[in-house]
Amino acid sequence: MNKSLFTYKKSGVDIKAADKFVNFISNTSTKKRGKKRFKNIGGFGSISDLPRNIKNPKIVACTDGVGTKIEIANIIKKYDTIGIDLVAMSVNDLIVQGAKPLFFLDYISINKIDLPKLKSIMKGILEGCKISDCELVGGETAEMPGTYEKNKFDIAGFAVGVVGEKKILDNKKIKNNDLVLAVPSSGLHSNGYSLVRHLLKKKKINLKKNKFLRNELIKPTKIYVKEVLKLIDRGLVNGCANITGGGLSDNIKRIIPQNFCANLNLNKINSLKIFQWLKNNNIKDKEMLKTFNCGVGFCLIINPKNFNEVVKCFSKEYKPYVIGKITKGQKKVKLNDKINWFQ
């Protein structure tokens, strides 16, 4: 009998390599989380307990990716931080509604299984889960030759959290004269990279030779889970906004109640060097504010009397500061003055 000319491996899919990666994830995640009741990695589905100490628990779910920041990782061949970004983009959304992250799943699609690359990505995902105190319970790795070009891949994340019914953060708690606080970002986080890459191409900048940009553009997204959940547990916050695509205006507007306005003083914002560099490259203020977080990664809306207690919950690097106030009026975000980019 003639030997078959057609195999799955010859078509570009290596199941053995994928199995090795699954075993790596299972062994690594077990070491990270210690003893657990359920062994989820490698099965058809994941099983998790709901916390018993939460009254009338409500499930909150989020999903996101890291966009074209992946292409920066590909250029400089550094993959151990975009996994942190992946977790951050979902868990930072969960806490906006007061939810504690419970578990996380990832989806990785790639042209061809590359074990060193995938292990590096997974290292970051596990670190992100550790920082946000949630468990990696499973995921999916898809080898897709023909769909992605050589060395190309994409990642997506899915996070589930829980919040007690009475602790849900909704806009009903936001009041007149509440303060709007800016919590600093670690940098670009995971937004605006298509514009950044366009700029790099037009300016013919070699990222491998530019240490400043190489370091700044791969910095992982700050995870705000522990600090914000501490505030929520103490009843110190009335509202939150994760500042992602759309910038300050679009994201804060999502949580403002009817008949209230968020008045923001842009000249209060403490900019970072990476945004100063972008501004220096002929990007208008309006475009900067719409595309990037501009140094504000997260916003808190609080009663003024809680300000000192709120500040104590953050390290010096991420200490919140006042950038505005909630007032009565048409539902909108009013941006006053201009950012002092080069302060």
Per residue in 47-86, pLDDT (tens digit) is 787 888 888 999 999 999 999 999 999 999 999 999 999 9
What local confidence, expressed as pLDDT, does residue 36 receive?
Answer: 52
Q: Percent of the chain having pLDDT more than 70? A: 87
Query: Same structural domain for residues 151 and 183?
Result: no
pLDDT value, residue 88: 98
pLDDT over 80 at 156, yes or no: yes
Instruction: Tell whether the model's pLDDT for residue 173 goes beyond 80.
Output: yes
Query: What one-character DSSP code corresponds to residue 148?
Result: B
194-202 contacts at long range (C-beta below 8 A, 24 or more positions apart): 194/67, 194/68, 195/283, 195/287, 195/291, 196/72, 196/278, 197/68, 197/71, 197/72, 199/278, 199/281, 199/283
Do 183 and 325 lie in a common domain? yes
255 within 8 A of 234, measured Cβ to Cβ? no
Q: Are residues 101 and 176 in the same domain?
A: no
Q: What is residue 17's predicted lDDT score, i.e. its pLDDT?
A: 59
| 198 is a domain residue | no
Residue type, 256: I
Whether 210 is in a domain gets the answer no
How many angstroms from the chain centroid is the CA of residue 227?
Answer: 15
Q: Which domain holds residue 155?
A: 15-167
Same domain, yes or no, for 176 and 153? no
- In CATH, what number is assigned to the domain containing residue 96? 3.30.1330.10
Span 169-178, mean pLDDT? Answer: 93
Nearest of 264, 249, 261, 262 to residue 322 by alpha carbon: 264
Q: Which of the listed ranges 15-24, 28-37, 224-233 does the model predict with the highest average pLDDT?
A: 224-233
Q: For residues 87 and 22, which has the higher predicted lDDT (pLDDT)?
A: 87
Separation of CA 275 from chain center: 18
Distance CA 75, CA 81 (A): 14
What confidence score (pLDDT) does residue 16 get?
63
Residue 228, pLDDT > 80, answer yes
pLDDT at 79: 96
* Complete DSSP assignment for 262-312: EEEEGGG----HHHHHHHTTT--HHHHHHHS-TTEEEEEEE-GGGHHHHHH
Residues 151 and 42 in one domain: yes
At residue 162, the 3 state secondary structure works out as strand
Token look-up 């992100």 returns: 128
Q: Does 58 share its domain with 141?
A: yes
Residue with more model confidence, 171 or 81: 81
Residues 157 and 238 in one domain: no
Q: 30 falls in which pLDDT band (50, 70, 90)?
A: low
Mark whether 138 and 176 lie in a shared domain: no
Band (pLDDT 50/70/90 cuts) for residue 147 is confident
Is residue 48 classed exposed, middle or buried when 0-12, 13-18 and 19+ CB atoms within 10 A define those classes? Answer: middle
Q: What count of other Cβ atoms lies within 10 Å of the Cβ of residue 260? A: 18
Higher pLDDT, 326 or 113: 326
pLDDT, one tens digit per residue, over 107-139 is 999 988 889 999 999 999 999 999 999 999 888
| Sheet hosting strand 260-265, strand order edge to edge | 239-242, 296-302, 179-184, 321-328, 260-265, 332-336
**pLDDT tier for residue 18 given thresholds of 50, 70 and 90:** low
- Predicted confidence at residue 113, as pLDDT, reads 87
Residue 225 structure tokens: 């889970």
On average, the pLDDT of the chain sits at 90
Q: Is residue 97 part of a domain?
A: yes
Q: Rounded to whole angstroms, how far apart are CA atoms 283 and 86?
A: 27
Eight-class DSSP state of 243: -
What tens digit of pLDDT does each residue of 303-317 get? Answer: 999 999 999 999 999
Listed residues 136, 167, 198: the one ending a domain: 167
Q: Is residue 157 part of a domain?
A: yes
Residue 253 lies in a domain: yes
Domain contains 5:
no
- Cβ atoms of 155 and 65 within 8 Å: the answer is yes
Q: How many domains does the chain have?
A: 2
Q: Is residue 89 part of a domain?
A: yes
Return the CATH number at 229. 3.90.650.10
Asked if 130 and 179 sit in the same domain, the reply is: no
More confident of the two residues 162 and 170: 162
> Rounded mean pLDDT of 210-234?
97
What's the confidence (pLDDT) of residue 188?
97
**Which pLDDT score, from 0 to 100, does residue 138 have?**
85
**Residue 145 domain-assigned (yes or no):** yes
Shared domain for 178 and 324, answered yes or no, is yes
pLDDT value, residue 54: 86
Instruction: Tell whether 244 and 113 lie within a shared domain.
Output: no
Contact 203, 182 (CB under 8 A): no
224-233 mean pLDDT: 97
Q: Do residues 281 and 254 share a domain? A: yes
User: How large is the average pLDDT for residues 135-146?
Assistant: 88
